[in-house]
Amino acid sequence: MTTRTLIENLKDSIGETVTIAGWVDIRRDHGKLIFIDMRDATGKVQAVALPNHIEAHEAANMLRPEWVVEIEGKVNARPEKMVKKDELNGMLEIEIVSVKVLNKSETPPIDVRGDGRDIGEEVRLKYRYLDLRRPRLQQNLRLRHKIVLFIRNFLSNNGFIEIETPLLSKSTPEGSRDFLVPSRLEQGKFYALPQSPQQYKQLLMVAGFERYFQFARCMRDEDTRGDRQPEFTQLDMELSFVDREDVMALNEQLLIELVQKTAPHKKIQQIPFPRMTYAEAMKNYGNDKPDIRTDKNDPDLLAFCWVIDFPFFEKADKGGWTFTHNPFSAAKEEHREWLMNKEHIEEILTTQYDVALNGFEIGGGSIRNHDPKALSCVFEIMGHKEEDIKANFGHMLDAFSYGAPPHGGIAWGLDRLMAILQNEPNIREVIAFAKTGEGKDLMMAAPSDVSPEQLVELGIHIVK
Ligand code: ASP
């Protein structure tokens, strides 16, 4: 392609003839003058076709919104009284010399220039590649990139390394329902997609990495409930030789700096973040992710708080006990003996800490049980039989018998944090290719049927 000038850089080319390339944002026909607003990934600019450039004028007349074109033109400064101060290229205009159509566009099924809030979400998700052209979503994903980059740098500067963990893993009774992937090579057996990298990150601590993080995709096959996605992104981290205070302090610092550097117009209500116990949160707010904002009308107020001292166990629906957060958590120091003796079960508190923001849980973690005996006790309290514990978690118990350091970590719900920072009502607005509440990808039409041959290969027979 001819040397292309990015639209955001046009101000450096006043008086020159340049070539820009992008999409026709809008065409306004004033008879003699045809205005073409051009858009590329870096911004917008107004171009004008004058009748004296006959060929260019005719070509501009043919253009329609969303066509992809290359425009050669002269960058003219606008006369003083025509300058639009608040716009990126408000001080200039392009006088079109020639137009080259790179690709035409059908009339788009949805308007891509407005904020899209008045368009039905199904059609937005079906034509997501068009929906993503709108400035609001472009901005959401660009801020997301900025934040991810900030976190990567912050953690790298603090001695963390980023490690990927597998997507094809083992099904374990760990909380939610697993997404299963049938094995072709071992028919009748299944992988599970990870609900979180919890076990792998702990095993990385056993392996001696000491400080790990990852932007991890987590898959949970849950029923439609509120603003959930079957797959979502966590900022996941784990640290060795730390206690609860260390993990909380580091994460608090990261959250504060992240807001200050990437969303400076936001105001954090209180630093250090206030803390309350689970019992206090339930008593004073009736939930464990309290909205402590002093002014709920202020869209730029961020009220972070920590909730600690959760009960380790709760009564399970089917009777017996289940964990409230994470079976791998350690009990609080003063309750470790109760855990080992399997007594006062209801009163055992965990080292779990959750961070809430404006009424949403945006992260949670704990110090872990690195003692294999204590971990076994957790599963025994929940009524797991010895052979089941071995089959499901034997690899963890084995690993912990080879010199596991004390460790702990946390995971943030990155999508939720992004939605709050962008004042978006749901996480679909900050995920590039989101699914519907029913877990459908309307653009790809997934889930979908597969061929009978594929099923045969997997040894699967569908019962209708
Ligand atoms: N793996 C946990 C979760 O997904 C977070 C953690 O404890 O680090 O909720």
Q: With CA atoms as reference, report the closest residue to 414 among 191, 152, 189, 125.
A: 152
- Complete domains list, the chain, with CATH: 7-103 (2.40.50.140), 128-430 (3.30.930.10)
Cα(1) to ligand 1 centroid in Å equals 48
pLDDT in tens, 349-391: 999 999 999 999 999 999 999 999 999 999 999 999 999 999 9
pLDDT value at 174 more than 70: no
Residue 93, SS3 per DSSP: strand
pLDDT in tens, 261-305: 999 999 999 999 999 999 999 999 999 999 999 999 999 999 999
Q: How far apart are CA 44 and CA 26, in angstroms?
A: 10
Cα(238) to ligand 1 centroid in Å equals 10
Q: How far apart are CA 110 and CA 86, in angstroms?
A: 27
* pLDDT of amino acid 464: 86
* pLDDT of amino acid 1: 64
Atom 8, ligand 1: residue with shortest CA distance: 410
Give yes or no for residue 411 CB within 6 A of ligand 1: yes
pLDDT value at 139 more than 80: yes
* Kind and range of the H or E run holding 254: helix 244-262
| Mutation pick for ligand 1 pocket among 195, 218, 234 (CB with most ligand atoms within 8 Å) | 234
Give yes or no for residue 365 CB within 6 A of ligand 1: yes
Atom 1, ligand 1: residue with shortest CA distance: 198
Beta partners for 353? Answer: 308, 365
Q: What is the DSSP string of 235-248?
A: EEEEEES--HHHHH
Give yes or no for residue 366 CB within 6 A of ligand 1: yes
Q: With CA atoms as reference, report the closest residue to 229 among 416, 361, 356, 357.
A: 416
Q: Residue 463: count other Cβ atoms within 10 Å of its Cβ.
A: 4
Lowest mean pLDDT among 65-69, 172-176, 396-400: 172-176
Cα(208) to ligand 1 centroid in Å equals 20
Give the annotated binding-site residues for ATP.
220-222, 229, 361, 413-416
Atom 7, ligand 1: residue with shortest CA distance: 365
Q: For the whole model, what pTM was predicted?
A: 0.95
Cα(265) to ligand 1 centroid in Å equals 30
CB of 248 closer than 8 Å to CB of 409? no
Cα(234) to ligand 1 centroid in Å equals 9
Cα(446) to ligand 1 centroid in Å equals 28
- The structure tokens listed for 402 are 């080879």
Give yes or no for residue 233 CB within 6 A of ligand 1: no
DSSP code of 370? -
CB of 343 closer than 8 Å to CB of 304? no
Q: How far apart are CA 146 and CA 216, in angstroms?
A: 17
Long-range contacts formed by 287-293: CB under 8 A, 24+ apart: 288/354, 288/356, 288/361, 289/354, 289/356, 289/359, 289/360, 289/361, 290/356, 290/359, 291/356, 291/358, 291/359, 293/269, 293/358, 293/359
Secondary structure, 3-state, 121-153: HHHHHHCHHHHCCCHHHHHHHHHHHHHHHHHHH
